[in-house]
Structure 1
Amino acid sequence: MKVVFDVGGSHMRVGVSADGGELVQVTDVVTPVNPEEGMLTLVDMAKRMVGEEKITAVAGGVAGVWNAEKSKILGSPNLTSWVDFPIKEKLQAMWGVEVRLENDAALGALGEAVYGAGKNKQIVAYLAVGTGVGGARIVNGKIDENNLGFEPGHQYIGESTLEELVGGRSLEKKYGKRAEDITDAAVWEEVARHLAVGVVNTILLWSPHIVVMGGSVIRSIPWEKMIEEVSSRLKVYPWVPMLVRRSLGEKAGLYGGLALLGQDQGGSRG
């Protein structure tokens, strides 16, 4: 059985697959603040799902900037206590197999590019707007070559980062309630305008065939308003690339893990 996981700033999910192409079971819990507890929880969740079956491969994403060896995160605004924790070493010791690790949004991007809304598109730009803001550029079904990783949420718009303007945690701090509980239309129109600027910047820098957007905050965004804002700003090109919502929902990162494992075995799906 193959195990895939996705650790975000607020929740973490684990899925298992028998054939490496379809998830047969998925479960999620609140992300523990303590990384040691997080490791134990991941392993326990997987064991409960696979039962007596042997775990043959593991891949997962964790929110943050990784070191070159992809063994630990060097920085993470929403998982500060996980920084410098030996994630790869701990998980490999617990599972007894090689564990492939990536940024969580990068795996979400890969999942949508290979299995989801970006399938069959050569260049996919992915933006995940949830607790924070992440994303990645996918080229020909693989995470694009990079040096430090992709962090579109940390682009500056005026004096603030995109994440500070539209991320769920930032909105909660500003308005005193969770993003999903904010009902003021004026607030969401402002968020849509800020997000549109971030989308335009991403298109200008990554030149994608399609922009796929996901994350809990996206569900509250006035979608057509945001597209109008993008179109009104993106004048340098004769047309605007496709902008679509993700199709895999909260499983995008898990499917990205399966795609990563598939590439390790010499091929990719989609």
Structure 2
Amino acid sequence: MGLRIGVDLGGTNLRVALVKEDGKIVRDMERKTEVAKGPQYIIDKMIDMIREMKGDEVIKGVGVGCPGPLDPKTGVIYNPPNLPGWNNIPLANILEKSLYEHVKIDNDANAAALAEAKFGAGVGAESVYYITVSTGVGGGFVLDGKVFQGAAGYAGEIGNMIILPGGPTHNSLNAGALESLASGTAIGLSGQKGGMSGGAEEVIHLASLGNPTAQTILDNAINYLAIGIANLVHSVNPSIFVLGGGVMKSERQLLEPIKEKVKNYVYPRLKETINIVPASLGPKAGVIGSAFLIH
């Protein structure tokens, strides 16, 4: 029975799982990341969790899904916004020297994309574009069962795609980038201007109750996301789009409007070919997909 270990390194939680070749989790554990304690503390905790998870098992290797920016080819992490102090950390090399196992790292959205393509909503599709709409907006493109990374490992970074030139800024992204317009953070900030202090969750809830201000905020975010998806339709034309992330938990309110809006922005012959579905693996997609970064 082939086994591998997946690690999902997030700004809030650190997850480690022992995963079978069919994508099923044998066992897993989760701890708080505790980012304020710095990279060495977190890496030591990660190593302890991996060793505990492995036990006496023989594994194929360890895959780690991390926030970007990072270089999947060298295994170096470059100062992600939600991992303060992680400046040029050669994570793959550190883990290999400590664990004596083959280690691969990649963007966390790519890891989730791989899981959905192999075992989730994208099973059987030649090409899968996964989009996560949560605190930020991320993406990953899986072609013929493999993550398409691009020349420098940044393929799929759709959060920085310019949708509204001169629009709002967010973190170090371009003005009017998709993340600054359609993420949970962006929806929450727009809600604050309308007197809603409960973030994207409150905006979405109030829209469901017929609040016109909340509905306008949500409609704008849906429209911007649809423009982003239409851009991807015309550039890579994937077999299927899989939408995940915390905001998409409200798929009943969001999915059909997104589908209809996308049709407004694509060639007429493409309108009926676009397949947009919700993610199916939930929050463990990242740790499952990370395990399969090891070929």
Unaligned runs of 5+ in 2: 168-175, 208-214
CA contact (8 A) 1:193 1:229 kept: yes
Identical-pair percentage: 31
Q: Counterpart of 1:177 in structure 2: which amino acid? A: G
Where does residue 218 of structure 1 map in the other structure? 248
Deviation (angstroms), 1:52: 4.5
1:1-270 correspondence runs (5 A): 1-17=3-19, 21-33=23-35, 34-53=38-57, 56-67=60-71, 69-144=73-148, 146-148=150-152, 149-150=154-155, 151-158=157-164, 159=167, 160-174=176-190, 175=192, 176-182=197-203, 183-185=205-207, 186=215, 187-220=217-250, 222-238=254-270, 239-261=272-294, 264=295
Q: More deviation in 180-189 or 120-129?
A: 180-189
Deviation (angstroms), 1:146: 1.0
Q: Deviations over 1:141-163 (max 9, x none)?
A: 11125113221111011131111
Q: Secondary structure at the match of 1:138?
A: strand
C-alpha distance in 2 between matches for 1:171 and 1:10: 21
CA contact (8 A) 2:5 2:63 kept: yes
C-alpha distance in 2 between matches for 1:224 and 1:43: 43
C-alpha distance in 2 between matches for 1:8 and 1:194: 26
Deviation (angstroms), 1:122: 0.8
CA contact (8 A) 1:72 1:83 kept: no
Q: Deviations over 1:73-93 (max 9, x none)?
A: 235343343231221222223
Q: Counterpart of 2:100 in structure 1: which amino acid? A: G
C-alpha distance in 1 between matches for 2:58 and 2:279: 32
Q: 1:184 to 1:17 in 2, by over 3 A?
A: same
Q: More deviation in 120-129 or 74-83?
A: 74-83
Q: 1:234 to 1:80 in 2, by over 3 A?
A: farther
Q: Secondary structure at the match of 1:93?
A: helix
Q: More deviation in 229-238 or 121-130?
A: 229-238
What is the alpha-carbon root mean square deviation over aligned residues?
Answer: 2.4
Alignment TM-score, normalising by the size of structure 1 = 0.86
C-alpha distance in 2 between matches for 1:136 and 1:101: 14
Alignment TM-score, normalising by the size of structure 2 = 0.79
Q: Counterpart of 1:229 in structure 2: which amino acid? A: K
Q: Secondary structure at the match of 1:100?
A: strand
Q: Secondary structure at the match of 1:156?
A: coil
C-alpha distance in 1 between matches for 2:87 and 2:232: 27
CA contact (8 A) 2:72 2:105 kept: no
C-alpha distance in 1 between matches for 2:24 and 2:64: 16
